[in-house]
Amino acid sequence: METSVTIIGIVIAVIVAIPIYFSARSSAASKSKILNIKKKFNPNNPEHFDLTESKSNKTLTIDQKNRKFILMNFNPKQQESIYVDLKNVSSCKLVLTTEGNSDTIVKIDFEFQEKESSKKITIPFYDFDDDRIKQISVYQDHQFAKKWLKIIQDSI
């Protein structure tokens, strides 16, 4: 009786421990990847990025003092990181692309206006084609983008 209880206890412990181990390992890898990207754009002081937030395979980070912004997209199809020096930007807005004449959002972009050249820098944030859940995460991503738009505008 004691042996069977011990074996069942060990099996349950292993079943619980394996997912926790892989989750912790994945989290450490993500943090390492984010730190490496921060070092790429600010090699001397990657810790100056004082606000970093992640949601739906996207990580946004900002250095409000030195006015630097990075959008990291860890989409399985295409991983990219885009850097914007907010010192050279006069404004930022969200550009929503809808499907036909419906209100269904299929794309969300950050659009930055450069100060000197009036050139527009468009950074893709959400794309319906890359969304694995299809329209379920668009609302959350839209709210996340609105929150970060305010943070960016306050830093410009």
Query: Domains in the chain, ordered, with CATH?
Result: 44-155 (2.30.29)
Cβ pair 107, 123 in contact under 8 A: no
pLDDT digits (tens, 9 = 90+) for 71-113: 998 877 778 889 999 999 999 999 998 887 777 888 899 999 9
CB atoms under 10 Å from CB of 36, counted, come to 11
Which amino acid makes up residue 65? K
Alpha-carbon distance of 77 to 60, in angstroms, equals 19
Alpha-carbon distance of 63 to 39, in angstroms, equals 13
- The tokens for 35 are 């730190």
pLDDT digits (tens, 9 = 90+) for 5-60: 899 889 898 898 888 887 777 776 678 888 888 888 887 777 778 888 988 788 99
pTM over 0.85: no
Which residues, other chains included, contact 146 with Cβ-Cβ below 8 Å and sequence gap of 6+? 94
Cβ pair 113, 120 in contact under 8 A: yes
